[in-house]
Amino acid sequence: MKIISMDVMSTGVIAYYVLVASRDGFFTPIVANVENRAYADPVPQAVILTAIVIGFSIQALMLVGVMKLARDNPTLESNEIEKNNTP
């Protein structure tokens, strides 16, 4: 549940940035014959794409850790897992 909640939170932050960046009147910066247009800044788009990829890799890493914990501990209770793994 913690992994899913972190993924939902990450998706919410990305959706917020997409909502803020989608302003009316801005055009995609591509080659066109029209001059004097207001273009959207491509840097936030690249940052959001990077955040999506990093979020996916972190989620995959956390799932591998959960698979390792599930193999070693037969319970789903995080308190029991922490109690068993403390030195």
Query: What is the C-alpha separation between 31 and 13, in angstroms, rounded?
Result: 31
Query: What is the C-alpha separation between 48 and 10, in angstroms, rounded?
Result: 11
Cβ-contact 3, 59 below 8 angstroms:
yes
Query: What is the C-alpha separation between 7 and 58, in angstroms, rounded?
Result: 9
> pTM for the full model?
0.66
Instruction: Name the more confident of 77 and 63.
Output: 63
**Model confidence pLDDT, tens digit, residues 29-66:** 676 676 766 777 778 778 888 999 999 999 999 999 88
Q: Which residues of 66-87 are buried (b: 16+ CB within 10 A; e: fewer)?
A: eeeeeeeeeeeeeeebeeeeee
